[in-house]
Amino acid sequence: MRTWLVILCLWSVAAQATVYKWVDKDGNIHYSDQPHADAQQVQLRENTSNQVSMPPVKPISVANDSEETTEQKTRYQVSIVSPHHEETIRDNAGDFTVTGEVQPQLASGHYLQLYIDGVATTDAQASALFSLKDIDRGEHQLQLKVVQQNGKVLASSSEITIFLHQAGLIKPAIPAPSVKRGNG
């Protein structure tokens, strides 16, 4: 393959070296790289050669700097709107909804992720509405974070505490008073 490439390059250089021009019997002008009867050799000027120049390649570090600049320009304000701090939620199934708010609007490639007790419990998403299922009863800390696709945290809300109550399924047995009947 390299041999053919070298041959084609040399052939194109040789073809550029000599150009012939002639006029046929109908008055049409022809150009060729092959000599022809009554053909004249055309002298090409240097300014007729085509040159292609590529723009300089930007180093990778410049691209990373521009991404960081974009991140630094976008300062998010994130908060949890519902439930409120120290709110008690009563749901026997352990299901409830968390609503967040972010300002300004999320940029492309930025998402919201909900953390319960310091653990990401949902996939990152563009919506600020999170439906939670089967959460254990008790005290929990909720926090909302703005993250990039690579997982880098750009902003976080304040942690709020909620209390999830569920009705007890097992009630302690209270013995009924026994009535003794006597014979007589």
Q: What is the mean pLDDT of residues 98-121?
A: 92
Whether the per-residue pLDDT at 10 is higher than 80: the answer is: no
Phi and psi torsions of 137, nearest 5°: -70, 160
User: What pLDDT sits at residue 9?
Assistant: 57
Choose among 183, 120, 108: nearest CA to 156.
120
| E strand or H helix at 164 | strand 160-165
Whether the per-residue pLDDT at 55 is higher than 70: the answer is: yes
Tell me where in the chain the CATH 2.60.40.10 domain(s) lie: 68-165
- Give Cα 8 distance to the centre of its chain: 44
User: What pLDDT sits at residue 63?
Assistant: 47
User: What pLDDT sits at residue 166?
Assistant: 84
Question: Which is more confident, 91 or 45?
Answer: 91
Q: Which residues are CB-neighbours of 84 under 8 A, at least 6 positions away?
A: 160
| pLDDT tens digit sequence for 11-54 | 555 555 678 888 888 888 888 888 878 888 877 666 656 667 77
Whether the per-residue pLDDT at 62 is higher than 50: the answer is: no
Cite the DSSP H helix spans in the chain.
2-17, 60-73
User: What pLDDT sits at residue 34?
Assistant: 82
User: What pLDDT sits at residue 30?
Assistant: 85
User: What pLDDT sits at residue 8?
Assistant: 59
- Segment of 58-62, 66-70, 101-105 carrying the highest mean pLDDT: 101-105
Q: What is the pTM of this model?
A: 0.53
User: What pLDDT sits at residue 103?
Assistant: 92
Taking the C-alpha atoms of residue 173 and residue 14, their distance in angstroms, rounded to an integer, is 105
68-165 has which CATH code?
Answer: 2.60.40.10
| pLDDT tens digit sequence for 67-87 | 544 444 578 999 999 999 999
User: What pLDDT sits at residue 158?
Assistant: 93
| pLDDT tens digit sequence for 118-166 | 999 888 999 999 999 999 989 999 999 999 988 899 999 999 999 999 8
Integer-rounded Cα radius of gyration of the chain:
40
User: What pLDDT sits at residue 122?
Assistant: 81
Query: Cβ(162)–Cβ(99) under 8 Å?
Result: no
